[in-house]
Amino acid sequence: MGKITKYLPSALVGSTIAAPLAYIAYIYQKDNHQKQHAVLRNFPLLGRVRYMAEHVGPELRQYLFSGDNEGLPFSRMQYQDIVKAGKYNERLIGFGSSRNFAEDGFYIRNSLFPKLRTELKVDNSQKVTTYQYVIDNEGLMSRKEHREEILTDPYYLRDEDAVVLGDGYCRQPFRIKGQVGMSAMSYGALGENAITALSKGLGIAGGTWMNTGEGGISDHHLAGDTDLIMQIGPGLFGVRTPGGEFSWEAFKEKADMEKVKAFEVKLAQGAKTRGGHLEGQKVTEEIARIRLIEPGKTVNSPNRFTEYDSFEKLFGFIEEMREIGGKPVGMKIVVGDVEGLEEMVQIMKDSGKGPDFITIDGGEGGTGATYQELADSVGLPILTALPIVDELLRQYGVRDRVKLIASGKLITPDKIAIALSMGADLVNIARGFMISVGCIMAGVCHTNTCPVGVATTDPDLQDGLVVGEKMYRVANYVMSLRAGLFNVAAAAGVESPTMLERKHLTHKDIQGRISSVGSMLHKIEQEERKEKDVEDLPVKN
């Protein structure tokens, strides 16, 4: 016993040194003799350090090295704006803007005589009960905070300013008292806890809507007291026969649901102008029931509706949906082919047919899974696409019957106000709402391994997302956006954000020159005309 006690410290010290050295020697030999990786073969240990740095690099940049306004798709500052609005109901900043004013960009034209708060046409007569966090004490390694119940203003539009989809064209038009809603996100792409928290949070805020995504209407979309826009994609999930054709019977069932207020036919999505693929292992009994497909069987969706390859056929389909369902029918597009778009508007004018609303998704829009080439380079950004569509609808005299919904990184009140000034009536947000329920922008939505339980159906990972906690952050976030819109409207000298127009917006380039949206559209038309003139030139022999 005495000898053991005597030599034990030396043995522990020896093993503490020997074990790591032995492991390093093992790794060195293993990497040096493997044939797959050249870096590891030539520099066994250094190569592993490189791989480790590459693996944790995004996190290090996000938290330590990137500036507040750096990083894509959203900067640290933009991310924090959403979190603070949702969790702390806090949107004030100190010291000043960190925007780089030397860069080009859009600016709201403020009035010399802004509107007083008492002059705003806002409906805050019905207060909303929600929860916010209050920080009690914050140290280097800890933060003590508590949650408290509050009554807050919802910032609804007044009844006379409500945006109405299908007004005068549908038996049941959709009346909306807020201009911000949730973009299409399917159950399956997001887990049940995330969808449920979003549904309940939007229901608490009221005056908004939830787009189901093309995966159909799940029980989780219906969990809260919010209105739904059901999206129908080429896969016809939720409205298909066993043979894969459109089912009018299933459609009528959905149209008869009280919470379903409108339908959206999806032609394209900003970052995902392609078809879909759903592995059979992901088609659970629940997914199969919602999408009306067979459990366990792989399903491929085409990149367009196979039955509707012309605007005449598509508009006929929309007309029949509106007649049978009695509710507004819109379509979701990505703008790229401006000539094709003009052809569509011409047919709308000549036939008197067409959608009740058009959702324009910018090329910068998000998705759970796509290819880099489609996400980076297919489709125009929203602030280029939106005024083009708005102008074409005006030129052909059909703008009054079609509402425009814009989407594409419009996650803050100023960005939304710019879109409204460019012609949007409403704005869709997806990733902003994902952040409000806990998304940390890990970028693994397509792997089912989302570490915070948002974009995953893994029950263990979803356990981290507590619905009763996150739903209030959703409510706070959407109400903060509406409050911010009224702030911008007041600064621009109008009583409501519904009154924002092109004249309230200007663009400044890097030389400091300013231009209006109208002059920018004129330049686009000139460029289009030049390109057409070149195409019309006779081919040289």
The structural domains of the chain, with segments of one domain joined by +, span: 148-504, 507-536
Residue ranges of the chain whose pLDDT lies below 50: none
Mean pLDDT of the chain: 89
| Residue 507: predicted pLDDT | 93
Counted residue by residue, the chain has a size of 541
| Residue 32: predicted pLDDT | 84
Give the predicted TM-score (pTM) of the model: 0.89
Give the pair of three-digit tokens for residue 386: 């939106």
SS3 content of the chain, % helix, strand, coil (to 5): 45, 15, 40
Cβ contacts of residue 537 below 8 Å, gap of 6+?
A: none
The DSSP element (H or E) to which 453 belongs, if any, is: none
Give the rounded distance of the alpha carbon of 26 from its chain centre. 48
| Residue appearing with tokens 């509106």 | 322
* Residue (of 470, 468, 477) closest to 437 by Cα position: 470
Q: How far are the Cα atoms of 69, 382, 432 from residue 79, in angstroms, in the given order?
A: 10, 20, 8
- Give the separation between CA 93 and CA 111, rounded to whole angstroms: 22
Give the rounded distance of the alpha carbon of 402 from its chain centre. 22
Q: CB–CB of 170/326 below 8 Å? A: yes
Give the rounded distance of the alpha carbon of 440 from its chain centre. 14
- Give the separation between CA 142 and CA 415, rounded to whole angstroms: 34
Q: CB–CB of 287/191 below 8 Å? A: no
The DSSP element (H or E) to which 199 belongs, if any, is: helix 192-205
- Give the separation between CA 304 and CA 13, rounded to whole angstroms: 68
Cβ contacts of residue 517 below 8 Å, gap of 6+?
A: 387, 421, 422, 502, 505, 507
Other C-beta atoms lying within 10 Å of the C-beta of residue 201? 30
Residue spans of alpha helices (H) in 422-540: 431-436, 459-462, 467-492, 517-536
Give the pair of three-digit tokens for residue 139: 């140290």
| Residue 195: predicted pLDDT | 96
Q: Is 71 exposed, middle or buried (0-12, 13-18, 19+ CB in 10 A)?
A: middle
| Residue 172: predicted pLDDT | 97
- φ, ψ of residue 377 to 5 degrees: the values are -135, 0
Q: CB–CB of 302/285 below 8 Å? A: no
Q: How far are the Cα atoms of 166, 267, 315, 396 from residue 347, in angstroms, in the given order?
A: 18, 17, 9, 10
The class of domain 148-504 in CATH terms is alpha beta
- Give the separation between CA 390 and CA 337, rounded to whole angstroms: 15
| Residue appearing with tokens 């509107």 | 115
DSSP one-letter string for 101-138: TTS-EEEE---SSPPPGGGS-EE-SS-EEEEEEEEEEE
| Residue 539: predicted pLDDT | 57
Q: CB–CB of 215/189 below 8 Å? A: yes
Q: Is 369 exposed, middle or buried (0-12, 13-18, 19+ CB in 10 A)?
A: middle
Summarize pLDDT for 69-103 with one digit per residue, the tens: 777 788 888 888 999 999 998 888 888 888 889 99
Please state at what angle helix 76-87 crosses helix 467-492, rounded to 10 degrees.
Answer: 110
| Residue 326: predicted pLDDT | 97
DSSP one-letter string for 287-301: HHHHHT--TT--EEE
DSSP one-letter string for 342-409: HHHHHHHHHHS---SEEEEE-TT---SS--HHHHHHSS--HHHHHHHHHHHHHHTT-GGG-EEEEESS
- Give the separation between CA 186 and CA 264, rounded to whole angstroms: 13
Q: How far are the Cα atoms of 99, 141, 291 from residue 399, in angstroms, in the given order?
A: 34, 56, 34
| Residue 140: predicted pLDDT | 78
Please state at what angle helix 517-536 crosses helix 382-395, rounded to 10 degrees.
Answer: 80
| Residue 533: predicted pLDDT | 67
3-class DSSP assignment, residue 508: strand
- Give the separation between CA 389 and CA 375, rounded to whole angstroms: 21
